[in-house]
Chains A and B, each alone.
Chain A
Amino acid sequence: DTEVTQTPKHLVMGMTNKKSLKCEQHMGHRAMYWYKQKAKKPPELMFVYSYEKLSINESVPSRFSPECPNSSLLNLHLHALQPEDSALYLCASTPGRPLYEQYFGPGTRLTVT
């Protein structure tokens, strides 16, 4: 089973709203990621959690706030977003050593109005 699930599939929010994206995996993977992807562009890394600790923050604005409540769950809290934040948000996970295959969820299509 190489499934990473993400909810919701689609989200429309206003610039003053607070919302959260959720990601879950039950493969025992110890590294989890948030990526942002715009049309015709590669996935752009935002955050990495390794063993439930934030290990990489790619200088992401504070209106994006990640959270890793446990080894299976990853959240991305959104607040006061801008229209240019509209994108496909992808979650991924990696088993860690020695395997490094990274598996992606289906993504959340976010539209900020």
Chain B
Amino acid sequence: DQQVKQNSPSLSVQEGRISILNCDYTNSMFDYFLWYKKYPAEGPTFLISISSIKDKNEDGRFTVFLNKSAKHLSLHIVPSQPGDSAVYFCAASARGSGTYKYIFGTGTRLKVLA
């Protein structure tokens, strides 16, 4: 049972345009969400997170939106740069459970075209 899903395995965007990466989840207990960027053979790099008490969090070029009723979150990258080309994972956690467990989505490969 895949509790966190990223339905688009890949995405191509022109440099300077907006990249929108999507993530859906099924477990209503999830209350904290993170986005990671990963290059091949490296560990994931933390980008941005959002708590379920918010619907938006912004950090520079990265904005995460959370729609709890739809159990959907998205990562917006504006403007997209060639260096953003990587695999992006969303992850979810149920902080209330106290287990410190994170569930990862399957990833979306973003390619930013120069």
Q: Which residue numbers of A lie inside 8 Å of B, CB to CB?
A: 2, 4, 6, 31, 33, 40-43, 45, 48, 50, 55-56, 88, 90, 92, 94, 96-97, 100-107, 109
Q: How far is the CA of A40 from the CA of B6 in the complex (A)?
A: 13
Contacts known (A55-B99, A56-B101, A100-B95); A42 close to B107, Cβ less than 8 A: yes
Contacts known (A41-B106, A42-B89, A43-B104); A48 close to B99, Cβ less than 8 A: yes
Chain B contacts with A in 29-79, Cβ cutoff 8 A: 32, 34, 36, 41-46, 49
Q: How far is the CA of A101 from the CA of B36 in the complex (A)?
A: 10
> Contacts of A109 on B, CB cut-off 8 Å?
41
Q: Is the CB of B100 within 8 A of A96?
A: yes
Q: How far is the CA of A55 from the CA of B100 in the complex (A)?
A: 9
11 sampled A-B residue pairs with Cβ under 8 A? A33-B100, A41-B107, A42-B107, A43-B44, A48-B101, A56-B100, A96-B100, A100-B95, A107-B42, A107-B43, A109-B41
Q: Is the CB of B107 within 8 A of A94?
A: no
Contacts known (A42-B104, A100-B49, A100-B93); A106 close to B99, Cβ less than 8 A: no
Q: Is the interface of A mostly helix, strand, loop or mixed?
A: strand
Q: How far is the CA of A92 from the CA of B46 in the complex (A)?
A: 11
> Contacts of B43 on A, CB cut-off 8 Å?
4, 6, 90, 92, 104-107
Q: How far is the CA of A109 from the CA of B42 in the complex (A)?
A: 9
Q: Is the CB of B102 within 8 A of A42?
A: no
B: number of interface residues (CB 8 Å): 22
> Contacts of A102 on B, CB cut-off 8 Å?
34, 46, 91, 102
> Contacts of A45 on B, CB cut-off 8 Å?
101-102
Q: How far is the CA of A103 from the CA of B102 in the complex (A)?
A: 12
Extra inter-chain contacts (12) besides given A33-B100, A41-B107, A103-B46, CB under 8 Å: A42-B89, A43-B44, A50-B100, A90-B44, A96-B100, A100-B93, A100-B95, A101-B49, A104-B43, A104-B45, A107-B42, A107-B43
